[in-house]
Amino acid sequence: MTIQFARRMQDLRASEIREILKLTQDPEVISFAGGLPAQELFPVKQMIEAGIRVLETEKGKALQYSTTEGYFKLRTAIAHRMNNQGAANVTAEKVLITSGSQQGLDLTGKVFLDEGDVILCESPTYLGAINAFKAYRPRFREVPTDDEGMIIPELERMLQEIENVKVIYVIPDFQNPSGRTWSLARRRAFMEVVNRVQVPVVEDAPYTELRFEGEAMPSLKSMDSEGLVIYLGTFSKILFPGVRIGWLVADKMFYDRYVLVKQGADLHTSTLSQRQIWTFMQEYSIEENVARMLPVYRRRRDVMLESMERFFPEGATYTRPQGGLFFWVVLPRECNSRELLKRSIERKVAFVPGGSFFPNGGNENTMRLNFSAMPEDKIREGMERLAGVIKEFLAECCPRARSGA
């Protein structure tokens, strides 16, 4: 008998980031590859106390099966925080607890995508979303994107010309991988188009609270007058990722369907973790935890930026994020960052080649750099090493860049 797998398996590949992280287990490697928060900033003591409190007071309830929608008190607390941050009329009944916001992406594929359907996304876009949606065998169409967000005339053109667009996926704040943030004008124009065309939008917002400078931008969900925006949030970047607690906010026409497919996926997210997070929120302050993180991340961003300005050769351009976790680097077109990575690993420094973030391929002359997980001295050392590798690579492989042509 010949073993036959589902056709969707033909399109699935191991996450390039996860594969690169395997190479960085060597303690001598300075890694700018993973989108990792700084673990030395995790509130470990408070979480130990919250976990003990939950087990002492809730006992068996904390270890029992729960509802698919999630712990109601936690859903209420999330809705309250979102409303305080400017969201419009979020209630606990619109909040679904997920196993990390990554599950929200997978559930989105189950709810919306049949084989051959179209999903519109930024260019570049989050690799984890590409991998989550690929299982449902859609067609990705990348909307041209600049420093202010999706280019609206291009979005309108594509919505007119492309049939069977099921959903638009975006990360408006400190985007992964580019670090860019959509302008207020672009957000308003985008929502005008969405409301007119009546197409669902998934707003992925893991980095929104990690702003170091500038004014906070309103979420797309806060501008959503038609109930078309599905919002994904997570505790991974504002507390820690290990408990895998995220959430999804949607109006009823979407919400019930998400609940239905989550029931089939995992019944419900960890009861103990949900109650532990809620207890933390009651006894401590997420806002204070974020306030403790921001100056550390800001300094690390500044050190990486200063290092690029000092060491990087001409021909390498990069974004200047106002928050989040990432820089985006563009090298001369002749340069292949996958080949560059091989040399870089030999020098004990790692990054993620940027081509992985383009679902339809190309743009191999790009790279993503994470600044949050390394201390400042390691960032300086690693960036000097990386710059040296880039200079050598450009001299050997990109004579036009070397000559200034």
Contact 234, 247 (CB under 8 A): yes
If one compares 235 and 13, the residue with the highest pLDDT of the two is: 235
Task: Give me the amino acid identity at 240.
Answer: F
Q: Pairing mode, if any, of strands 246-249 and 95-98?
A: antiparallel
Q: Read off the tokens for 219.
A: 């979420």
DSSP result, 368-402: EEE-SSS-HHHHHHHHHHHHHHHHHHHHHH-HHHH
* pLDDT value at residue 236: 96
| pLDDT (average), residues 124-129 | 96
* pLDDT value at residue 403: 43
Domains of the chain, CATH where assigned:
7-42+288-403 (3.90.1150.10), 44-283 (3.40.640.10)
Q: Kindly indicate the confidence band of residue 14, based on its pLDDT and cuts at 50, 70 and 90.
A: low
3-state class (DSSP) for residue 58: helix
* pLDDT value at residue 402: 47
Would you call the peptide bond into 375 cis, given omega within 30 degrees of 0 as the criterion? Answer: no
Q: Give residue-wise pLDDT tens across range 304-346.
A: 999 999 999 988 999 999 999 999 999 998 899 999 999 999 9
Q: For residue 404, is pLDDT > 60?
A: no
Q: What are phi and psi for residue 358, nearest 5 degrees?
A: -115, 105
* Mean pLDDT, all residues of the chain: 93
Q: For residue 10, is pLDDT > 90?
A: no
Length of the chain: 405
* pLDDT value at residue 27: 83
3-state class (DSSP) for residue 241: coil
Q: Give residue-wise pLDDT tens across range 257-304.
A: 999 999 999 999 999 999 999 999 999 999 999 999 999 999 999 999
* pLDDT value at residue 107: 98
User: What is the reported pTM?
Assistant: 0.94
Long-range contacts of 183-190 (CB under 8 A, 24+ apart): 183/148, 183/149, 183/217, 184/217, 184/218, 185/148, 186/148, 186/149, 186/150, 186/152, 187/149, 187/217, 187/218, 187/220, 187/223, 188/223, 189/152, 190/149, 190/150, 190/152, 190/155, 190/220
Q: How far apart are CA 366 and CA 341, in angstroms?
A: 11
| pLDDT (average), residues 104-129 | 97
